[in-house]
Structure formats: structure tokens, C-alpha cells
């Protein structure tokens, strides 16, 4: 597939020859069309501080996209800066994740192809995941807001295995189970005590679970000079997705967490910091509920550095406790990932994020993830 894209002042003809990349091409084209519309209708100069949105202090809206974890109500990182009363902010994300890990109960990897009914516990997660999400925030009062988000999730056999293996070989990094799994194939399989509890070996896609959050500013954590913001957030996840194709969990989840952000420091005015900690409760319903934890604890922390007037670089670390009573590292241990990215301001009301993540706690999150997001403040 060949498409011509005009994006933020650049003009390119791009050839997409891979099946899954049509999803990425569509999302990229949509983001670019939004950006072009913004550029064509700018009425406020970038240097106008009164109209400037706090783009450089906004965290990257990420979370663990492990296919057996992203279906629950683990919140994406959100800014504790409350949206102004009667104002709206929206965000559109597009992410691509490569997942390749397995935890088998066999003594040798080659036995994987020989056994269909192992004793003990075995898990195979091998796929590429495309995820897009629309999120809208609305300011209720000067100190509170409500937000709603809805994802679209697509599990595919993918196309990046060869590129990732070449990257690993070039830097003498281990390929893990990529050496014993077929290239560019999809398989989710979970067996326990001889019983197959989950198996998906074909492409699956659909609308995910809806999340609604309420955020309230806390005066005790905030400062009147607007350099520090602290909030408490309460959210609910409603099972609008389909657990049979891993676009939903089938459970209703409730979360709450405290967030704080310092948007500038006396001796480092370009530096911003944010952090949060919270707890997630999941109802006794849905996928693998017999082995799932009822409570999960999570937290994150990150720094943002305003490198240039319109450019900011960002780094954050995300952790959570295990979601399942399992011996596997993928779902039964503490999860953690490192996210590195940046933001570019397109106008006083619009910015775009680029980012990637790595599993710093091996196998607990996707091997690598790539994301792009556009944010817009509407008055």
C-alpha cells in the first residue's frame, strides 16, 4: 500500500508493504490530518503564555500493555493538573507492542512442540498488539474534573520479529524464546494442571473496556503559585470489551490513587517531576478469575526536561504488584517498565508525544512498545 502524507509541514510518499502496518498508517494519517488542521487554524502565537497549555509537564499516557494485564483497570499515567472549569482536553494514542515470552513446565524448549497437555503451569504470549485510545477530560469546577477513555485493541501475528532479532544480534543481546518460536505468528496459550484455560491462535480485535475517572485537587498537596499540583483520583472500568478475544477482562474494576507534580524547581526551572501511587480492586468475574488477585498496587514516577521552547524530553518508570497467583514471570511477579520519549508543541493548544518502552522487569511487560499521541485543549 502506498500513501501520500502531508504532516506538520512535511510531505512524504510512504510505502506500506506489511499487513499490520495498514493500522499504523491509518492512525498516523489521522494524527497528521489533525495536526495539519491545527496548523492551518492557528490564531494564537506560540509565545503567548496566557494561552499556553502545560504540554511539557504532562506525563506520557502509558501503562503495562501485557495482553493479560492491559485488559484490567490499571490506569494510564495522567497529569494531576486539573482541567479548567468548563474546558475540554482530548488525547488520541496509537501504540504498537511486540510480545514474545513463554514460561513452560518442560525441562527443554524443544519439548514445547511435542506436548499438548503438560502438567504444572505453562504460558506462551507471542504476538504484536496494536492499540489506539481516545480520552477526553472535562473540567467540572476549578478543582475537579471527569475523564473518559475507550481503547480499540488488535492482536496480530505481526511483522517486527526479524527486525527485533537483528537488533538483538547486532548488540549481542539475548533473543529469549524468539529463537524457538515461529517468526511472525500469534499464540496466547495458558495451561495449568493439565487444563487448557486460554488459547488464541488467530487475529482478534475489538473495542476494549471503558474507563471513567474523577479527579479532585487536594490543597494539602498543592501550592498557590501553581508550581505544585496534587490530586486524588477514583476510577471505574466497565467491561465493554470481549474477554474471549482479549479486548476486555469481563470484570468491573475500581481504582484510586494519589498524584503529585512539581512543574518547576527554583534552581532547575526547565525540570518537572511527577509521581503517583494507588490501588486497584477487581471483581470476582471474567477471565482467569480463579487465579487472579483481588487487589493490585501500582505506582510510577517520572521527570520531564524542557530542552527547547517547543521540545521536551521525558522519562518515567512504572511498577505494579502481580495480577495473578502464578509462578510465571509474565503474570505472577511484580511488573515494571521504563518509558522514554518526548513532546513537541505544535501550537499553544496542541502537542504531540513520541515514546517507546522496555520491560525493565523481564517478561512482565511487552519486549518493546512504540507510541504516538496527540493532545488538544479545546476552549
Q: What's the CATH number where 94 sits? A: 2.40.160.40
pLDDT band at 193 (very low <50, low <70, confident <90, very high): confident
In a domain, 36, yes or no: no
- Asked if residue 148 has pLDDT above 80, the reply is yes
**Lowest pLDDT segment from 11-25, 48-62, 293-307:** 11-25
- Asked if residue 154 has pLDDT above 70, the reply is yes
- Asked if residue 12 has pLDDT above 50, the reply is no
Task: State the Cα–Cα distance between residues 368 and 228, nearest whole angstrom.
Answer: 32
- pLDDT in the model for residue 160: 62
pLDDT band at 169 (very low <50, low <70, confident <90, very high): low
In a domain, 281, yes or no: yes
Task: State the Cα–Cα distance between residues 204 and 88, nearest whole angstrom.
Answer: 33
- Asked if residue 279 has pLDDT above 70, the reply is yes
**What are the CA-CA distances from residue 351 to residues 58, 136, 236, 260, 377 (Å)?**
10, 15, 28, 22, 9
**Residue range 297-322: average pLDDT?**
97
Helix/strand/coil for 264:
coil
In a domain, 365, yes or no: yes
Helix/strand/coil for 33:
helix
pLDDT band at 104 (very low <50, low <70, confident <90, very high): low
- Asked if residue 130 has pLDDT above 90, the reply is yes
- Asked if residue 18 has pLDDT above 50, the reply is no
In a domain, 287, yes or no: yes
Task: State the Cα–Cα distance between residues 26 and 9, nearest whole angstrom.
Answer: 19
Q: How many helices (H) and strands (E) does the chain have?
A: 2, 17
Query: What is the b/e burial string over 257-292, where b = at least 16 CB atoms within 10 angstroms of the residue's CB?
Result: bbbbbbbbeeeeeeebbbbbebebebbeebbbeebb
- pLDDT in the model for residue 157: 87
Contact present, 116 and 105 (Cβ < 8 Å): no
In a domain, 9, yes or no: no
pLDDT band at 266 (very low <50, low <70, confident <90, very high): confident
Exposed, middle or buried, 254 (CB in 10 Å: 0-12/13-18/19+)? Answer: middle
- Asked if residue 45 has pLDDT above 50, the reply is no
**Residue range 221-228: average pLDDT?**
72
Mean pLDDT of the residues in the chain = 82
Q: Domain count for the chain, please give it.
A: 1
- pLDDT in the model for residue 24: 46
In a domain, 335, yes or no: yes
In a domain, 90, yes or no: yes
- Asked if residue 362 has pLDDT above 70, the reply is yes
**Residue range 292-302: average pLDDT?**
97
- pLDDT in the model for residue 331: 95
Expressed as residue numbers, the domain containing 161 is 42-378
- pLDDT in the model for residue 264: 87
Say which residues have a Cβ less than 8 Å from residue 163's Cβ, sequence separation at least 6. Answer: none
- Asked if residue 22 has pLDDT above 80, the reply is no
Which of the two residues, 37 and 361, has the higher pLDDT score? Answer: 361
In a domain, 46, yes or no: yes
Amino acid at each position: 500500500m502506498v500513501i501520500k502524507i502531508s504532516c506538520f509541514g512535511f510531505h512524504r510518499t510512504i510505502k506500506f508493504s506489511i499487513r499490520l502496518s495498514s493500522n499504523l498508517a491509518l492512525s498516523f494519517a489521522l494524527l497528521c490530518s489533525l495536526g495539519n488542521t491545527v496548523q492551518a487554524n492557528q490564531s494564537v502565537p506560540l509565545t503567548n503564555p496566557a494561552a499556553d497549555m502545560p504540554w511539557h509537564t504532562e506525563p506520557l499516557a502509558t501503562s503495562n500493555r501485557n495482553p493479560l494485564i492491559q485488559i484490567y483497570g490499571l490506569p494510564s499515567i495522567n497529569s494531576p493538573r486539573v482541567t479548567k472549569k468548563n474546558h475540554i482536553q482530548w488525547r488520541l494514542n496509537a501504540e504498537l507492542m511486540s510480545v514474545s515470552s513463554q514460561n513452560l513446565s518442560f525441562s527443554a524448549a524443544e519439548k514445547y512442540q511435542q506436548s499438548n497437555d503438560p502438567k504444572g503451569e505453562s504460558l506462551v504470549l507471542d504476538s504484536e498488539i496494536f492499540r489506539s485510545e481516545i480520552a477526553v477530560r472535562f473540567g467540572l469546577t476549578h478543582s475537579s474534573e471527569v475523564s473518559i477513555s475507550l481503547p480499540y485493541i488488535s492482536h496480530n501475528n505481526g511483522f517486527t520479529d526479524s527486525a527485533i532479532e537483528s537488533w538483538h544480534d547486532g548488540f549481542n543481546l539475548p533473543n529469549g524464546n524468539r529463537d524457538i518460536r515461529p517468526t511472525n505468528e500469534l499464540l496466547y496459550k495458558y495451561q495449568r494442571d493439565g487444563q487448557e484455560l486460554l488459547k488464541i491462535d488467530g487475529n482478534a480485535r475489538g473495542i476494549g473496556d471503558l474507563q471513567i475517572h474523577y479527579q479532585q485537587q487536594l490543597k494539602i498537596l498543592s501550592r498557590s503559585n501553581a508550581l505544585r499540583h496534587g490530586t486524588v483520583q477514583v476510577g471505574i472500568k466497565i467491561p465493554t470489551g470481549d474477554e474471549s478475544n482479549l479486548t476486555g477482562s469481563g470484570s468491573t474494576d475500581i481504582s484510586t490513587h494519589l498524584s503529585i507534580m512539581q512543574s518547576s524547581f527554583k534552581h532547575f526551572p526547565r525540570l518537572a517531576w511527577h509521581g503517583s501511587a494507588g490501588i486497584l480492586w477487581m471483581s470476582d468475574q471474567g477471565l482467569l478469575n480463579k487465579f487472579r488477585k483481588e487487589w493490585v498496587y501500582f505506582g510510577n514516577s517520572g521527570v520531564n526536561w524542557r530542552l527547547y521552547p517547543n521540545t521536551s524530553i521525558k522519562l518515567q518508570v512504572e511498577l505494579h504488584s502481580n495480577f495473578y497467583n502464578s509462578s510465571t514471570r509474565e503474570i505472577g511477579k511484580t511488573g515494571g517498565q521504563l518509558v522514554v520519549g518526548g513532546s513537541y508543541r505544535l501550537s499553544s493548544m496542541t502537542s504531540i508525544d513520541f515514546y517507546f518502552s522496555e520491560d525493565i522487569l523481564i517478561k512482565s511487560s511487552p519486549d518493546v512498545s512504540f507510541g504516538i499521541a496527540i493532545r488538544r485543549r479545546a476552549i
